[in-house]
Amino acid sequence: ESLVPANFIRHIIAEDKANNKNDGKVATRFPPEPNGYLHIGHAKSICLNFTLAEENNGTCNLRFDDTNPEKESVEYMESIERDVAWLGFKWVGKYHASDYFETLYDYAVQLIKQGDAYVDGSTAEQMRLDRGTLTEPGKESPDRSRSIEENLDLFQRMRAGEFADGQYVLRAKIDMASPNINMRDPVIYRIRRAHHHRTGDAWCIYPMYDYTHCLSDMLEGITHSICTLEFEDHRPLYDWVLDTLKTPCHPQQIEFARLQLEYTIVSKRKLLQLVTEKHVSGWDDPRMPTISGLRRAGVTPEAIRDFCERIGVTKKNSWIEMSFLETCIRDDLNERALRAMAVLRPLRVIITNWEDGKTETYQIANHPQKPEMGTRAVPFGKVLLIEQDDFMENPPKDFKRLVPGGEVRLRGSYVIKCEEVIKDDAGNVIELRCTYDPATLGKNPEGRKVKGVIHWVSEQHALPAEIRLYDRLFSHPNPDTLDNFLDGINPDSLEVVTSARVEASLTDASPDVRYQFERTGYFCADSVDSKPGKLVFNRTVTLRDSWAK
408 is in an annotated binding site: no
CA 294/CA 261 separation, integer angstroms? 14
Sign of CA dihedral 510, 515, 520, 522: positive
349 labeled part of a ligand binding site? no
- Toward Mg ion, which CB reaches closer, 196 or 539? 196
Of positions 33, 55, 239, 545, contacts ligand ATP by CB under 6 A: 33
Residue 532 makes CB contacts below 8 A (sequence gap 6+) with 507, 508
Q: Is residue 479 part of the contact set for ligand ATP (CB under 6 A)?
A: no
| Interacting partner of 235 out of Mg ion, ligand ATP, none (Cβ under 5 to 8 A depending on kind) | none
Q: Is 301 in the site for ligand ATP (CB under 6 A)?
A: no
Say if residue 40 carries a ligand binding annotation.
Answer: yes
Write down the least CB distance from residue 41 to ligand ATP, Å: 2
Among 17, 171, 235, 268, binds ligand ATP (CB under 6 A): 268
**Shortest distance, position 469 Cβ to Mg ion, whole Å:** 32
Our measurement of the distance from residue 61's CA atom to the centroid of its chain's CA atoms, rounded to an integer in Å, reads: 20
Here's the x/- map for ligand ATP, 212-231, by CB under 6 A: it reads as: ---------------xx---
User: How far apart are alpha carbons 427 and 421 in whole angstroms?
Assistant: 11
Give yes or no for a contact between 27 and 224, defined as CB atoms under 8 angstroms apart.
yes
Q: Is 45 in the site for ligand ATP (CB under 6 A)?
A: yes
Q: Does 44 bind ligand ATP (CB under 6 A)?
A: yes
Is residue 381 annotated as involved in ligand binding?
no
Residue 372 gets which letter from DSSP?
G
Give me the least distance between CB of 45 and ligand ATP, in Å please: 4
Q: How far is the CB of 309 from ligand ATP (least distance, A)?
A: 14
Residue 45: name its binding partner from ligand ATP, Mg ion, none (Cβ under 5 to 8 Å by kind). Answer: ligand ATP
For residue 24, the minimal CB distance to ligand ATP (Å) is 24
Whether 164 and 158 have beta carbons less than 8 Å apart is answered as: no
Cα 278 to Cα 264: distance, rounded to the nearest angstrom = 17
- Quick check: 259 binds ligand ATP (CB under 6 A)? yes
Options 37-45, 92-100, 140-148, 151-159: segment touching ligand ATP (CB under 6 A): 37-45
- Cα–Cα distance between 247 and 115 in angstroms, integer? 17
C-alpha 330/C-alpha 480 separation (Å) is 26
Applying CB under 6 A, among 266, 275, 506, 536 the residue interacting with ligand ATP is 266
| Orientation angle between helical segments 148-160 and 101-113, nearest 10 degrees | 160
Instruction: List the one residue out of 215, 162, 202 whose CA is nearest residue 29.
Output: 215
Question: How far from 102 is each of 71, 285, 292, CA to CA, in Å?
Answer: 21, 39, 34
| C-beta closer to Mg ion: residue 210 or 526 | 210
Report whether 44 belongs to an annotated binding site.
Answer: yes
Does the annotation place 405 within a ligand binding site?
A: no
Number of helices (H) and strands (E), helices first, in the chain? Answer: 12, 27
Is 266 known as a binding-site position? yes
Alpha-carbon span 288 to 39, nearest angstrom: 8
What is the spatial distance between Cα 173 and Cα 188, in angstroms, rounded to a whole number? Answer: 10
3-state secondary structure of 469: strand
Would you say 308 and 47 are in contact if contact means Cβ atoms under 8 Å apart? yes
Q: Which stretch binds ligand ATP (CB under 6 A): 14-22, 262-270, 357-365, 519-527?
A: 262-270
Q: Between 225 and 538, name the residue whose CB sits nearer to ligand ATP.
A: 225
Of residues 42 and 339, the one with the C-beta less far from ligand ATP: 42
C-alpha torsion sign, points 293, 295, 301, 304: negative
Candidates 41, 138, 412, 521: give the one binding ligand ATP (CB under 6 A).
41
Residue 151 CA to residue 135 CA, distance in Å, equals 31
Q: Quick one: which of 13, 17, 28, 42 contacts ligand ATP (CB under 6 A)?
A: 42
By CB under 6 A, tell whether 455 contacts ligand ATP: no
> Per CB under 5 A, which region of 26-34, 170-178, 196-204, 506-514 contacts Mg ion?
26-34
Catalytic residues: 33, 258, 268
Q: How many CB atoms lie within 10 A of CB 120?
A: 23
CB of 346 to Mg ion, least distance (A): 47
Among the residue ranges 31-39, 447-455, 494-502, 525-533, the one whose residues contact ligand ATP (CB under 6 A):
31-39
The reply to whether 461 sits in an annotated binding site is no
Q: End-to-end distance of the chain based on CA atoms, in angstroms?
A: 37
DSSP assignment of 268-288 equals: HHHHHHHHHTTSSSSTT-TTS
Instruction: Please tell me whether 41 is known to bind a ligand.
Output: yes
**Least distance in Å: CB of 74 to ligand ATP?**
16
Report the C-alpha gap between 462 and 254 in whole angstroms.
56
Closest CA to 477 of 272, 316, 261, 330: 261
* Cβ distance to ligand ATP smaller for residue 67 or 505: 67
Query: How long a stretch of residues is the chain?
Result: 549
Residue 250, annotated ligand binder? Answer: no
Point out which residues bind ligand ATP (CB under 6 A).
Answer: 31-33, 41-42, 44-45, 65, 227-228, 258-259, 266-268
* Residues of the binding site for ATP: 33-35, 39-45, 228, 258-259, 266-268
Please state the residue numbers annotated as binding site: 33-35, 39-45, 65, 209, 228, 258-259, 266-268
Summarize as ranges the residues that interact with Mg ion (CB under 5 A).
33
